[in-house]
Amino acid sequence: MKGKDDVVDTAEQAITIFSDKDWWTGIAATSLKIVGIILIAVIFKYIIKAAISNVFKVRLKSPLRLSERRENTLFRLLNNIATYVIYFVAILAILSEFMDVRGILAGAGVVGLAIGFGAQNLVRDIITGFFIIFENQFSVGDTVRIASFEGTVEEIGLRTTKIKSWTGELHILPNSSITEVTNFSVHNSIAVIDLSIAYEEDIDKAQRIIEDVVKKVKPNYPEMVKDPEVLGVQMLGASEVVIRVTSEVLPMTHFKIARELRKTLKFELEKAGIEIPYPKMVTYHKDAKPKEIKNKMEG
């Protein structure tokens, strides 16, 4: 009978609680506060991001501005930091509606020390990310090679770096794993074009045609920093003479310029009657007798 009495008492207490107007008023007030905190956090986040965006727009017009690459990096990093801080404050504000967060903050030092031993990789990621940005090793928009990954830097965060390859894959790398970086976007590139000329052709004539063509095409390509240079005979192959042409161009435009120059030079050489070598095959009949071959040659 004691068990039944306990069940009856619990049911009566539940009915009393759910029928209490003050309890429902408290629940409604707490829910409204939580919704208000979330709305304020979202609005505040957009305000902060708009303010950061406006600051960088003003800096673009200032004569004392940083490079565009570095400004893009700092812009995305500040947006990430602002988002983390606003969400952290919002979570603390929501928790304060249910418990005393001062005790949590007081114990954060001990908890943080305990977590630090288990989150050493996270700490290394953040420290490495800080030095990547501080030393300007690479920036958003740069073309880099990190380990076996090569592509354009999409984002540099406090913990990870995102690299998009030219085929569309997005690689997300922990900052602590970045030990060696090759940055292709810092200095000008060199476009290299090797042209094959048949041995039967006049090499000097071919070289003069190439020199005339590269001088004429430079105004058509603003990516060229200097006039293309004809270095001369680069190699004597089995069936061709290779003439090398180089051109200093803006970073990461050498593939485009090399393709365009190669196409133009091939067209002009063919127009001038200079033959581009191609594989040739000589056949003979094994069953033919030497006398028959000699008679045919004499005949």
Q: How confident is the model over 122-158, as pLDDT tens digits?
A: 777 777 877 777 777 888 888 888 888 888 888 887 7
pLDDT score of 12: 57
9 residue type, one letter: D
pLDDT score of 289: 54
pLDDT score of 112: 58
Q: How confident is the model over 189-215, as pLDDT tens digits?
A: 888 888 888 888 888 888 888 888 888
Q: Which domains does the chain have, with CATH numbers?
A: 2-106 (1.10.287), 129-183 (2.30.30.60), 189-271 (3.30.70.100)
pLDDT score of 2: 46
Q: Is the whole model's pTM more than 0.95, yes or no?
A: no
Under-70 pLDDT residues of the chain: 1-24, 26, 56-73, 97-120, 280-299
pLDDT score of 53: 75
